[in-house]
Amino acid sequence: MKRHIIIHPDPRLKKECAPVTDLSDSLRQLADDMLETMYAAPGIGLAAPQVGELTRLIVLDCIKDKDDTPRPLIMFNPQVISSSEETNVYEEGCLSIPDQYAEVTRPSEVEVAWIDREGNAQKEAFDGLWATCVQHEIDHLDGKLFIDYLKPLKRQMITRKKVKLKRQRARA
Ligand code: K1U
Ligand code: ZN
């Protein structure tokens, strides 16, 4: 089932999410719903708070080319365990902040540990877009948005635009 994506500003996008302690069928269903929602958007990642669930769960698939095999990843309790000194700048977007893009600097490589859909511990090193995306999604679990890396004035401009958008959508 496709879920509704929450638009910034919303207090649920600013909260720290709770770790998963018991991997239940309802959490597996939430992960599957999030993948469906992400592909439909379309997007390359999605975090549980973006669909209103304050739990440490992200999904991602950074394979953009339709001719390549998809690689959907479901990560419960994802954690960056090491980061490169080297950084990378990428023009990021966010499904919770539609039509707004800005350059963000992050470590270019990260090693991430997580629990997969079957409850197994996983660990993998990511680079390129995968590294950018997994860090963006883990930030969501700590109530942090990509606009929080921007100068206050630029952040305020984007937030004002999204307040207007939400008012328009509420009236429609
Ligand atoms: O977290 C999110 O809101 C998803 C976001 C992930 C992300 C994008 C760019 C850099 C870092 C993290 C998105 O998926 S925005 C949409 C997007 O980037 C995209 C959409 C269609 C095709 C390719 C990319
Ligand atoms: Zn986002």
For residue range 54-63, list pLDDT tens digits in order: 999 999 999 9
Residue 172 has pLDDT above 90, yes or no: no
Ligand 1: which of 62, 94, 100, 104 to mutate, most ligand atoms within 8 Å of CB? Answer: 94
65 CA distance to ligand 1 middle (Å): 14
- The arithmetic mean of pLDDT across residues 113-138, rounded, is 98
Nearest CA to ligand 1 atom 12: 133
Handedness of CA 36, 74, 52, 93 (dihedral sign): negative
Q: Which residues pair with 74 in a beta bridge?
A: 59
Nearest CA to ligand 1 atom 16: 43
Q: E strands within 48-133? A: 57-60, 73-83, 87-92, 102-107, 109-115, 121-127
The DSSP code for 7 is: P
Q: How far apart are CA 153 and CA 37, in angstroms?
A: 31
Q: Please name which of 11, 9, 33, 27 lies closest in space to residue 94, comparing C-alpha atoms.
A: 9
What pLDDT is attached to residue 64? 86
- The arithmetic mean of pLDDT across residues 4-25, rounded, is 98
How many residues appear in the chain?
A: 172
> Which two structure tokens, joined as six digits, stand for 83?
């980061």
Residue 140 has pLDDT above 90, yes or no: yes
List of residues 6+ apart from 41 with CB closer than 8 A: 5, 95
79 CA distance to ligand 1 middle (Å): 20
Per-residue pLDDT tens over the stretch 32-56: 999 999 999 999 999 999 999 999 9
Ligand 1: which of 58, 66, 133, 162 to mutate, most ligand atoms within 8 Å of CB? Answer: 133
13 CA distance to ligand 2 middle (Å): 10
Nearest CA to ligand 1 atom 5: 94
Per-residue pLDDT tens over the stretch 87-105: 999 999 999 999 999 999 9
pTM over 0.85: yes
Q: Is 137 a catalytic residue?
A: yes
Number of Cβ atoms within 10 Å of the Cβ of 34: 26
- The arithmetic mean of pLDDT across residues 61-84, rounded, is 96
Average pLDDT, the chain: 97
Q: How far apart are CA 33 and CA 168, in angstroms?
A: 27
What pLDDT is attached to residue 66? 86
